Structure 1
Amino acid sequence: MDEQSFDAFYAASVGRLIGQLYAMTGDFAEAQDVVQEAFVRAWERRAALDPESAPEAWVRTVAWRLAVSRWRRVRTSLSFARRQGPSAPVPPPDTHHVLLVRALRQIPPAQRRAVVLHHLCDLTVKEVAAETDCPVGTVKAQLSRGRAALARLLADTEVDPRAGRLPEVEHG
């Protein structure tokens, strides 16, 4: 099957196949995913697909097998999780962490990234510049503006940015 024939085959059958797999699986998003994956596999072997030998049935069979494989993986994962028992309770985030994250979300992304890399990841200005692909002067300006913006945003809170380092933020 050449590329044009495959494109026509795809256009003519993708909707029907998604509908069929949806009826089989009961999950529309899953049906879309497995049909698309089956078409990717069909595309890879399109030269061997014969339009006269029911390529739609081949795609449907592959999609069904993909859905079954996913179910098996999920079932195995759930079984493993059940054997592990309930997870330990997670304590709520620290008030300072919540205030800091809320303030960080309010500053421009470039400033936020520079502040986090420098103050929370302990990278030097030069290392931040390398990671962000920015000149050192730009990073210094982003840090300065970011710290000033955070100082304004955190001025009336428990977090005092003038006390030196930003509070530790747990990564999780």
Structure 2
Amino acid sequence: MRDSDTFDEFYASSASRMVTQLYAMIGDLAEAEDVVQEAYARAWQRWRRVSAYENPASWVRTVAYRLAVSSWRRSRNRRTADQRFEAGRQVRELNPDTVALVAALRQISASQRRAIVLYHLIGLSVREIAQETGSSQSAVKAQLSRGRQALAPLLGVEELTEARHHA
């Protein structure tokens, strides 16, 4: 099979989920779409190497997240203006529960949000999250615990369980 065929299959089977995952992590759908698209473009440029990885989706997700963080650092003023504009705009084609979850996730720290999304929505193990984020396993466990505690009242529940839901 040609490289373009394997990449096309990879993209088709993972792009939609990847946008949802990044949206949950960063809280901005348009930016999630942009950084995911750029991450896939970079994956295509390095496809021979990336396709050999145990989990190419993890590579794309990490690159997309790093692109989002870089964007935040470069353009805080633009981001503030975009958020004001987006606040009054309806999010299209998303489940209302997803929109409510993202709104709650926006209110916790970025590291807790990322850990919660990787664990509960994507289904990575604590070890895999530590590897993907460059954190220790104990730091990931702390982020998950604190993130659950912070999210529970925002979602109107007494406490969050460890149940996972894959996006």
TM-score, reference length from structure 2: 0.44
Q: Which structure dedicates a bigger proportion of its chain to helix?
A: 2
Which one has more relative contact order, counting CA pairs under 8 Å at least 6 apart?
Answer: 2
TM-score, reference length from structure 1: 0.42
